[in-house]
Structure 1
């Protein structure tokens, strides 16, 4: 047989065997460009931001946005664990895990978690980044004063003024009687919003400074305050003389307290108080704060009387008999 023909037939046979093997056993022929398994690209936490979400009287929802930086090869099974930790106790308040999935493009990806926490105190927000259940990075941020996040029914653009030249509450003497003084009270409100404020009312409460006894309480309708306007609300109160009072004003909308302020009225010329402190104790006569409408002449105007009574006994006759008996016994004893 011709040698060349034999070599050609052998080569054809090898090619046929290789082709059949490649079909029956995939991967038997290695790709010369294959470098083995592809390593996942690096991922880390680029930034964490916190936003205030819906709030109720007891809780607030915090929106935690985590930005994840990814480079090079695709990375599978990426997830983020977010925890809210009470800043005072160190206890975990709530936890949420967010599945990010597979990251294929270079750049940043975003994972958002919503954590509902009590509307009080502060929290440390801990973010942990996982790849295939392996912790690869973490970050931490803090938030304080969560109670300042108000629910919708407490949110208002209207409040008492805070200027020294236009204080939130002021008073003047309307009538000074022998025992009582009538005060004209004024509360000043400002609407800093873009819409009119409606259904407002102001409650004036006068408390005797040292005892905290409520001497007067009255509520006045504040009406509607237009956007950007400053309006005053007036009321009167009659209180006992020679005492100092705190004037508390409370702004309400549909029965909900949305703001408050305090002033002071010094009706005792020898002692003064400020909004934040008192100076010394004074003698307090509780009857000065009794409601005159409840006092009647029968209960308050009367003459003191004296009553005489004797305890049960035997009277003067028995006492005389006892004296004679004692004398008789003494005489017999002396004999």
Structure 2
């Protein structure tokens, strides 16, 4: 056979075999347009925002919104880990992980996470972004004063006023007796909300400044305060004379304390106190604050110290020696 014909037959055979293999086994021949495995697009933390959520007496919920920026190819197995670390102790308080899945669109994707923490102190919020269980980015933000997030029963638009022209607590003397003084007490409340405030009451507590003894306690109904209005609540009480008092006013709604204020009543003309401090100690007669009874104080007497001395008349030691010798002689005669 001609050599050229043999080579041509071999070439044709190779082509036939290749075509047959391509038909029987797809994918044997590489696609010239195939660029290999698709690399996932880049993702990172664009921003983190924190909002106050629901609260109870003990806990507060932090609503954390993480914005993830994504570009180019789809990215699979994306997840976000959020942690709350106590700002003072550095201890981990709580953690939560959210599976985002696959991100295919270019732009930002929002991931929401709620963390429940104790309603006290402050926290460092750490947000860690993972792709295929590999950390790719992270961000941190801090939140302070979590105790200011109040549960619904503590939320109120009504509070005591805070003005020198319109003080939250004031008093006037209604009657000055020989031993006791009657005071007219006033508390000024303002409703800064859009709705009327109802079921309010004010408790007035008068404490003797130096001893903190409660001299009087009275509660009055504050009624309803219209939106945007300021109202004054009044009460009358009687306390012993010649003492200085702190006037504590407590605003309550359905038995829950929602605000407090303090004033001072100086009924001792020789000594004065301010709301923030006392400047001098005074003599306190506890019987003035007793409820009923004569309140008589125990009788205090001073006794003079006395010194007793003893002395034997005569010669002292010489007489004692003579007596001893005489006793010895008498005993000797009896023995004979």
Q: 1:93/1:23 Cα in 2 relative to 1: closer, same or farther (>3 Å)?
A: farther
**Distance (Å, rounded) in 2 between the aligned partners of 1:151 and 1:20:** 77
Mapping of residues 138-153 of structure 1, within 5 Å: 138-153=138-153
Q: CA RMSD in A?
A: 2.5
**Cα displacement (A) at 1:71:** 1.0
Count of aligned pairs: 300
**Distance (Å, rounded) in 2 between the aligned partners of 1:52 and 1:12:** 78
Deviations 1:52-93 (A, max 9, x none): 111000001111111111111111111111000001110000
**Number of the residue aligned with 2:307:** none
Q: Secondary structure at the match of 1:278?
A: coil
**Number of the residue aligned with 2:330:** none
Q: Given that residues 287 and 296 in structure 2 are in contact (C-alpha distance below 8 angstroms), is that contact kept between their aligned partners in structure 1?
A: no
**Cα displacement (A) at 1:164:** 1.1
**Distance (Å, rounded) in 1 between the aligned partners of 2:54 and 2:18:** 67
User: Could you list the runs of 5+ residues in structure 1 that have no partner in the other structure?
Assistant: 302-329
2:293 to 292, 295, 299: 295
Q: Given that residues 63 and 112 in structure 2 are in contact (C-alpha distance below 8 angstroms), is that contact kept between their aligned partners in structure 1?
A: yes
Q: Secondary structure at the match of 2:17?
A: helix
**Number of the residue aligned with 1:212:** 212
**Number of the residue aligned with 2:187:** 187
2:219 matches 1:224: no
Q: Secondary structure at the match of 1:61?
A: strand
Q: Secondary structure at the match of 2:287?
A: helix
Range 211-220 or range 17-26, more displaced: 17-26
**Cα displacement (A) at 1:111:** 1.2
**Distance (Å, rounded) in 1 between the aligned partners of 2:231 and 2:122:** 36
2:37 matches 1:37: yes
Mapping of residues 127-276 of structure 1, within 5 Å: 127-276=127-276
2:106 matches 1:95: no
TM-score by length of 2: 0.84
Query: Which contiguous aligned blocks of 4+ residues in structure 1 show a shift greater than 3 angstroms?
Result: 1-20
**Distance (Å, rounded) in 2 between the aligned partners of 1:224 and 1:15:** 98
TM-score by length of 1: 0.84
